[in-house]
Structures are given as structure tokens and as C-alpha cells.
Structure 1
Amino acid sequence: MTADQGQLEQFIWQVADLLRGSYSQADYRKVILPFTVLRRLECVLEPTRDAVLAEKEELQRLGIQDMDLMLTQASGCGFYNRTGLTLKRIAVNTDQRIVATNLRTYLAAFSENAREIFEYYEFDNQIEKLRKADLLYQVVTAFAGIDLSPERVSNHQMGYLFENLIRRFSELSNETAGEHFTPREVVELMVNLLLGPDEERLRDELVVRILDPACGTGGMLTAAEEFIKERSDAKVDVFGQEINPESYAISRSDLLIKGEDVGHIEFGNSFTEDRHAGERFHYLLANPPFGVNWKQFKDVVETEHKVQGFDGRFGAGLPRVSDGSLLFLQHMVHHMRKPEEGGARMAIVFNGSPLFTGGADSGESNIRRWILENDLLEGIVALPEQLFYNTGIATYFWILSNRKDEAHRNRVVLLDARDHWERMRKSLGEKRRHITPAQIRELTDLYLNALEKGEEHPKVKVFAPSDFGYRRITVERPLKLRFEVTEEALAELEANRTLAGAKYEKLRPSLLAALRALLGREPVFAKADFDALLKKMYANEGIASVPAPVSKQVWNAVSVPDPHGEVQKDGKGRTLPDPDLRDHENVPLDEDIHAYLEREVLPHVPDAWIDEEKTKVGYEIPFTRYFYEYVPPRPLEEIDAELKGLEKEIQRLLSEVTE
């Protein structure tokens, strides 16, 4: 008989009440999570406990010291405990010191792969703190009374249990729950879209390797593994890396319980410590933290980018330090099996920022350009808002493949799933909506039909990668000036630092006097004419010549932009551009920039031209623009009638107040 999920959570949550007063709410997790893992491991080992003890005694009798392999085989679980202790037996004695001693003995007797999990929880510190607070016996007794055996609580239920505990603890401590796990229906949809197109291929595979470089509690890896095992006899090897110690410990314990290699789950920062360097994978999936700031390890990332280029992970470019999302994407692409090895597919969850942040030639744009020009992007799915526990913002799946077949090459599928949701009866943090199983099936079919058959739909569009590219052109207009001496020009020169220096101390009064003589005269529209006038005024003040630095400051002060002024040229006779009139236009890649200028710009400003040296190529994916539907405004008569109705209602309410 399986356990009721709500009762399980309620029972374990009640244990937190024991901690009230001795622990802050933010620290409840330090006790509840490791004890939950410990009780789960204990229940898993229960059926073979006696067999392990018997094997241990026999090995001791034979004088064998290294028992690890034999005891692991005897347990049948991939891990073991060498003592006859359990939480129930430890709780027989009510003395807090004895309970602490026995609990430490119990933990030390686990195989190394299980013992390491509790080291990441720093569990020994909590044992001592509970002992000093006279709470250890009560907590051990409480957990000894809950049945977490696999027969009663499935691995799926344990995953939900851990995730909901983390979410609730994160809410209490104002942390980001979404950094630890992803809602299960989101994972299911993501796995469907990642693995669904490969159902036939999976049946022919002998071994499938999967990586999640931000694996949290391992929910995505578990879902992907189950999808494959339901459709194939292939051996599935899951790999992951996680930076949060608690999530890392839970992920390893989950694999341990299922008898899988926990050594494939690594601890550390994927950016700075690539624990799977040199490894390649069939499938990769991840939900990295949104908008993660990577300033603290900027030096390591920049060095790899500059020194290794495309031989490293970040050859395509570096995004701004405030958002490392596209670093995760490049990290994952680096770990895809090469096309000549059979290729790979990957899926990653992003917010909207990676779609469009950064202009042409920026780090973000260059990364998008690399992805699209190499035809790696297979599709993007826009998800409903308010799906995640820690944020209500818009989110997207990016699905990439480096082994597109001929029919799929140079095609990118955009699927708009933003309206596919139902409201939850009870909100969980920011999560107020969920995607139903029927909607998951519908979205999976829509994506696969678009991918395999090229079928479009009001919610599906198919593009070529080049459709997202553009050239950012710089449109210049000629600098036109008139020349005159004004009070503002004189004030500017009087405050000028160049003229105020000791070097021009003697020249300054005469220069200002010469210019002041031109105050109030009509503007001059030819530079040569004004230059002759200046020289005449200089001669009147006994100035034979003006040094170039001073002359430059004078011309800056007396030059005034004027659409009717003279077009200015440089020393080679080329027209000078007016920086204040400079504009930029994004021109689709498949359009000639000069044809665009002639059609869109010259009818309005005939003297404009393109500075081709400044042209840059950029890529962006304006998803919402492609699915925008124009809604015409209501008729004015309808709005006017509504306003009059509101006015009458306001007057009625006011009359009631004044009566």
C-alpha cells in the first residue's frame, strides 16, 4: 500500500515543531533533510540487513579486511551498513549522549558512497546541536516511526517529498527554491520534446548517457531515465553536477537507492570546475538558475574563452556578467557527442533574456549567431507564466541538435504554449498554474508534427536560422554648420581649460577680444568666409597665428549645426557625418542594405548614406513578435456609452452619501 503524499509531508513537517525555539526556521532544513535521507536509506536496507551482518561476520571469521564489494553484493542496493543499528534501536535509550554516540556509530558504519552524503549535510554538527538542546532523542524517535520503504513510498514520491520540503524551507528562509528543482509537469514536457523524436533510435541503443550540469535534486535525470527505460532495453547512465550541497546530497541518495553509480553525480561549480571534462553525452538537459551572476569567477571563464577559444567551452562569446545563462548553453553544447560519433540533442530552460539581450556583435548576439549559423537550434517553446515556484516570469525551452537529418536542416520550430495551462487550486510559492497531462500530450504532438512533417498551426511557426539574423547599419547624414560668435560661445571659451592654461596665458585676452568684436554679426554659412573674417580680427589684435589646439577650441565654439548650413568636408574631401543625426537600422540578412536604404530612408532624408565600416551582424529571436495578434480597439461609441454609464453610477453613489 502506497503512502499518501500529503500525510507524508505533514508527518515530517510536524518534526519541525520539535525544533521551534532551538532552531530558526531557516535552519530547520539542516535537521529535517538529512534525517529524511537517513530514514529512507535505512528502510531500503531493511530487507537485506541480516544478510549483510551475516556476510560481515563470515568475512571477519575468514580474516578478510576489504569487505566493500562483498557487503555491497549482500545488500543488493549498491550501499550497505555494517551494524545492526537502526533509528528505532538507537531510540531505545533516552540518554541524549548515548543517542548521539550510537547515531554517529550508525552513520560511520555506512559504505563510503552513503556516508559521504551526510558529510555534505554537515550532519555531525546538527547531531551535537540537537544533543545540547536535549532534542536528539525526540527527533530520532519521530523519524523512526515513519515508513519510507520503497514498497510504501516510490522514488517518484520521495522526489516530490524532498522537493516540497526544500520549497517550504526556502520560503521560510527567503531563498530561491527554483534553484533546486523544476515542477514535474515542466520536466515531463521537456523530456517528451527532447527524447520524443528519438523513440526509434532509442530502441537500437545499447548505452545512453545523459548529463544535467545543474542537476539539483536529480528530478530531470530521473524523468529522462524513466522515459528511455519504458521504451528501450538500453543501459542508461546518468551524470550530473550540482553546486548546492543539500541538493547534491539528495541527488546522490536518489541514485544510491536505485542502485546506480553515484560517482557520476559531482559536486561543484560547472563553470569553474567541469567535473565531466572530456566526456560526451547522447542527451543533455538542464534548468540553470535564471540570471545567475558570474562576476566572482569571471577571470576563470574569460581565461578559458581567450586561451582555448573553441577548443574550450566558451569560444562563441561571453554574455554580460549579470546573466550566465548562455554560458550554461555553451557548456552543454561542448559536452554533446560529435556528429561523427552519432550526435546529440539537448534541452535547457531559460527566461526571455537569452532570446534578445545584447545588440549586434555583443557576446549574447555572437553566441546566438554561432548556434544559428551552425544550425544547432531545433526549436524554442514558450511556456505559460507562473509555472515555477520562485518566479512568475516567462520561460522557454531551447532544444538543440547537432544531428538534424536532411528534412530538418535549416529549420527552427517555434511553439507558443503560453495559453496551455490550468489554474492550481492552491498556489505553491509563485507557482499558480500547471500544465495538465492532456496539454502535455497536445504540445508534444504539435512540436513533433512541426518537426517531422513541417506542419504549421496557429501556435507553431517554422523559420530558417537566417530569419533571425540582421545587419545593423549605421546611417549617417552630413554635418552642416553655420558660424557665428555668440555670448554662449564666448562663455564656453572663457571657461575652456585649454585656453586657461599657463601656456596660452598671454594669448587668451587678445583672442577673446578678437572674437568679441564679431559678437552680434550675422551668421556666416561658409567656413572659408568665416576663416577670413577670423584672421582679420586676429590681425587687429596683433595675433599673427593661432596654435592648432586653440584654433580647434575656437571652431568648436563658433560652429552651430544648421540644416541650411554648409556641408563640412575632411582633409581628403570626404563629407563629415553629423553625430547628432546618426541613426541605426536593423536590416534582415536576406535583404540588400542599399536597397533598404533607398526604400526606407532616402525618401525621408535624401542626403543619408551608410557607413559600411560600422555594419555589424546580429541575431535575436523576438518570439512574442511572431505570435502577436492585433486586437482592434473598441468602437468610440461603445467606450463613450460605458463612460456615461460610469458617470451615472458615480452620481448615484454620491447622492447616497450626501443624503
Structure 2
Amino acid sequence: MNQDFKNALWATANKLRGAVDPAEYKYPVLGLIFLKYVSESFAARQAELTTAFADPKNEFYLDDEAMRAGELEERDYYRASNTFWVPEKARWSFIQANAKQPNIAVLLDDAMRLVEEDNPKLANLLPKVYVRTTLEQNTLGTLIDLVASIDFGQGEHKGDVLGDVYEYFLGNFAGAEGKNAGEFYTTSSIVNIIVEVLAPKKGKLFDPACGAGGMFVSTKKFSTAHGGRVADLSIYGQERNPNTWKIAAMNLAIRGLDFNLGQKPGDTFTEDQHPDLKADYILMNPPFGAGTEWSKESLTNDPRWVYGIPPAKPAHFAWLQHALYHMSSKGQAGIVMPNGTLTTTQGGEDTIRQRMIEDDVVECIISLPGQLFLNTQIPCCLWFLAKDKTKNGRDRCGETLFIDARKMGYLKDRVNRAFTDEDIQKIAQTVHLWREDEDRTPITEGQEQQSYLDIPGFCKSANLEEIKERGFVLSPGRYCGSEDVEDSDEVFETRMGELVAQLKELFAKSNNLQQQVKNGLKELGYEL
């Protein structure tokens, strides 16, 4: 789709928002795009059937015209092609015809319910928010006309245009929301690095903190671009926010992906929706920082804590061990983490990190520059885990690859950084060359040598002894020979609060010791 058209769509939609908060506005807008998608998919399938029923050479040929009309309303024809059945009063033609009616909000909520009722896969997943929204009725009508202008696409690209618009709008809503955007959206630079490094073409995919489902959408694009089939991808996700859970379901449905997001939204640690799942690939950007935690009291003896009970707050090493627990015997994972996980000595996290290294499940660590996220400017890192380091190519047991990408990327505006396609390929191909797997190609065009080499300042393959010598600290800068900057993954106020609390505790201990000394001197007849 033309970028200018997408920009124009967003500009118009954003103008219609008026004073409505972006956090509220995204649900009715994305819901309309989804309704347009399922209705257009239904209409496309109906057109195919109409042609088939009238073609004497087709196996579905019917010579009775009245029978043809009746057969067009048979649900099995649609379900057989993985097309959602859309009742008449939920079809886009009906919605658009009534766009300017005073009861359009009621009709839209009813349409969502009707689609859910006829498609158990979508039960409780669609946004029924139109009556409750603070948008004016005439604004809803104008929005419907705006969405109606989006082309559905043709042939094998059917639905891709709507999917691209949905994804584009998600990104713009995330930019508009700012601080809260990280709850449902991960920028494409980070997602694409994870997908390109893992290179999933088939198998079970799992995102235990799936947000709007961006990891899955990017995986589909990667798989199809490399000769894979969407049918070979089994998607499992979990999301605790009910509204984000619904956004993810619509996002995946628009992309034609079959998915299992669990029976309900829920906390990953206490309400694991896929307790028996062993995934081939885990892709995750979990909530992190000083404010994240898990229910330690109720999960102390949980089987997930193979390398040690993580501190309840922050939950970083709980997330890492949750991923390892759900990986198959040859599973791989790519996880976004704060830089503090590479160096922390708090709450036993250093012991857990050491045990993970010693058990040889840490495959690669990539440090990233700051400003890649929409909701924070702190620099983060990527942990790549592997249950079997012989799976992809040469035997890399006992080794971990470190990549320092902190100086890569470009500022696309005053506050946000992004990676170019070349940056992403350089990082991914470094990993593939190190593994010597089937996805490796020369890093530089025209380069003949296809073997991995350490590059000072960029990448280093380190063995267990080298990591042990550095106290099991995993900051890539300490291995690659580049500048070792102390990257803070916490906001100033949070870090200062912790330091003040520690200082207060030390003062208390000091006062206690002073009192003990005074008491001792008093027993000897001396007063202070």
C-alpha cells in the first residue's frame, strides 16, 4: 500500500478523534478495520462460490438457481476455507448503508456480538465499545466511510492491505499514547531482530506476553518470505490485559493466522494458559523494570524455577525461567530484557544467571542502543536462549556469542531510534554465521568468506572460562573490546529511591552500632 495513502488515512482518523484519548480511541477504530476485514473475506469467498455454483465444469456446480442462493448461506462452505461466517447485519454493506443512522453505535456493537456468536474462535474477543465511546455518532459514520476507502487486495494478497493498515494504526496509536505504549506494542526494529535471528519457518511459536501480537505477524512475514507456509506455524500467546488480548486476536485474524491465546486474559505466572506447552520458538518482550513482580508467596515451589527462585520484584529472571520451562528439547527463545539483568547482583539474580550459563542455555546476548522504545529511552538487551546448541549448525556447546549493537541505528526523529534493514541483517547474519546454520549468507555483498570471525568492538564468541573470569557478567562490551558503559535500565527516580532506602538501612545499622558502643563504654564507667 502507498505510504502516502496510509499517512492520509491516519491523519484523517486522528483528526476525527477530537478530544478523545488515544488509549480509548484505538478500540473503535481497530474494531472497524477488523469488521471490514471479516466482511470482505466473507464477500470474497461468497463471490468464489457464486462462480463455482454456476460453472458446469466445477465440482460445486448447481443447475438450480434457487438452490444456488440457498447454498451461498451454508456456513460449511466458508469454514472449509477458514473464512469467518458473517451474519447479514454484521456485513460491511449493511454497516455502511446505516453509517449515518442515529443508532449506528448500537448496530456496531450488535455486529460484533453476531460475529462472535457464529464464530466460536472469536468468542469474547471483539470490542463492543461503540455505545460506551465518547465519540459522537456522526464521527462514527465518518470513520466507517474512511475505513470503507481501504482496498481489500486481490488474489493471494487478499487482506494484506487491511492488515498493513491495522499494523500501521497500531504503531501510530502507540506513538500517541507514549508511556503506556509498551503494554501492547514493540517497535519493529526490535521485533525484526528477534525474528531474523530465530528464523522460524515452522513449528510452535509462543509469546507469554504477546501484547498486540506483533511478534507473530512478523514471524508470518519472515516465514512466507523464506518459502514457509502459514499452515506450518502454530501460534500460542498469553496477555493479561483484556483489551490488548482482543486487539491481538483481531490482528492475528486479519493476517489469516490460526491462534490460541488461551481461554481468557490472565497473569502469565499465576494463570498460565498453556501449562503443558513445549514450544519450538519463544519470542517475548515482557513488562520489565522495578515495578514488575510475580506472586512469590504462592509460587515459591513452582517447577519453573530450575535455576533458583527469582526475586518477586523485579520479575526479570522469572520471565527468563518461564521461557526456558516452555521450550522444547531443541527450543530457542529471543527475549527483550533490561541491561541490569546482565550485571545485577541483587536478590540472587547473579546466582541464577551463573547457573544458566553453566547449564549452557544462554546462546547469545545483544546489547541495544537507547531510544528504540516508544515509552522509554533506556537501552535494553536481547537474550537468546537455546536448549540445544548443536541444532542449527556446528556444535557451539560451551560458547556464548556477544554482540554490541549500541552504536548502530539512526534517529528517525528527535526521540526515537530505529535500525535500518542493513543493521538488522548484519546482526542476524553474524549469529547465523556463528551457528553455521542454513540461514547464513555473507554479511557484506560480494563477500566470499562465510565463516564467523570475532570483530573487535562488535562481536565476540566467548567460552565458559572467559565468562567465569568476568564474574558471569554478560555485558557484551566487556567481551567485544568496546567501550564498557554502565547502562542504567531504571529511571532516575526509581534508582534514587532504591539508593535512599539502602542508605536509610545503613544509617539504621550505624545508629544501632553506636548504641552498642555507648552501652559497652557505660558498663566500663565511661559516658559519651
TM norm structure 1: 0.60
Name the counterpart of 2:238.
241
CA distance in 2 between partners of 1:142 and 1:106 (Å): 18
Contact 1:5–1:157 (8 Å) recurs in 2? no
Name the counterpart of 1:10.
8
Contact 1:181–1:219 (8 Å) recurs in 2? yes
Q: How far does residue 104 in structure 1 lie from its aligned partner after superposition?
A: 4.1
Name the counterpart of 2:420.
436
2:298 maps to which of 300, 303, 317: 303
CA RMSD of aligned residues (A): 3.7
Q: Aligned ranges for residues 495-574 of structure 1 at < 5 Å?
A: none
2:114 maps to which of 104, 109, 112: 109
Name the counterpart of 1:354.
341
Specify the code of the residue in structure 2 equivalent to 1:374. D
Q: How far does residue 252 in structure 1 lie from its aligned partner after superposition?
A: 1.8
Name the counterpart of 1:624.
477
Contact 2:239–2:261 (8 Å) recurs in 1? no
Name the counterpart of 1:397.
382
Name the counterpart of 2:405.
417
Aligned length: 449
CA distance in 2 between partners of 1:439 and 1:382 (Å): 13
Q: How far does residue 288 in structure 1 lie from its aligned partner after superposition?
A: 1.5
Which protein shows a greater Rg? 1
1:335 aligns with 2:326: yes
Q: Aligned ranges for residues 580-659 of structure 1 at < 5 Å?
A: 588=469, 619-629=472-482
Name the counterpart of 1:216.
211
CA distance in 1 between partners of 2:306 and 2:284 (Å): 20
Name the counterpart of 1:378.
363
Contact 2:42–2:78 (8 Å) recurs in 1? no
Q: 1:166 to 1:222 in 2, by over 3 A?
A: closer
Q: How far does residue 348 in structure 1 lie from its aligned partner after superposition?
A: 0.9
Contact 1:413–1:451 (8 Å) recurs in 2? no
CA distance in 1 between partners of 2:421 and 2:234 (Å): 27
Q: How far does residue 398 in structure 1 lie from its aligned partner after superposition?
A: 1.1
Q: How far does residue 141 in structure 1 lie from its aligned partner after superposition?
A: 3.4
Q: How far does residue 276 in structure 1 lie from its aligned partner after superposition?
A: 1.0
1:313 aligns with 2:301: no
Q: 1:158 to 1:434 in 2, by over 3 A?
A: farther
CA distance in 2 between partners of 1:423 and 1:171 (Å): 15
SS at match of 2:131: helix
Q: How far does residue 377 in structure 1 lie from its aligned partner after superposition?
A: 0.8
SS at match of 1:143: helix
TM norm structure 2: 0.73
CA distance in 1 between partners of 2:407 and 2:2 (Å): 31
SS at match of 1:110: helix
Q: How far does residue 355 in structure 1 lie from its aligned partner after superposition?
A: 0.5
Q: 1:232 to 1:48 in 2, by over 3 A?
A: closer
Q: Aligned ranges for residues 133-282 of structure 1 at < 5 Å?
A: 135-149=139-153, 161-195=165-199, 208-229=203-224, 230-232=226-228, 235-264=232-261, 267-282=265-280
Task: Name stretches of at least 5 consecutive residues in structure 1 with no aligned partner.
Answer: 197-201, 470-587, 590-617, 632-659
1:79 aligns with 2:84: yes
**Matched-pair identity in %:** 23
Q: 1:88 to 1:407 in 2, by over 3 A?
A: closer
Contact 2:31–2:127 (8 Å) recurs in 1? no
Contact 1:215–1:241 (8 Å) recurs in 2? yes
Specify the code of the residue in structure 2 equivalent to 1:213. P
2:348 maps to which of 363, 366, 375: 363
Name the counterpart of 1:467.
466
Q: 1:238 to 1:92 in 2, by over 3 A?
A: closer
1:39 maps to which of 28, 36, 41: 36
1:388 aligns with 2:393: no
CA distance in 2 between partners of 1:26 and 1:223 (Å): 24
Task: Name stretches of at least 5 consecutive residues in structure 2 with no aligned partner.
Answer: 54-59, 61-65, 437-450, 485-528
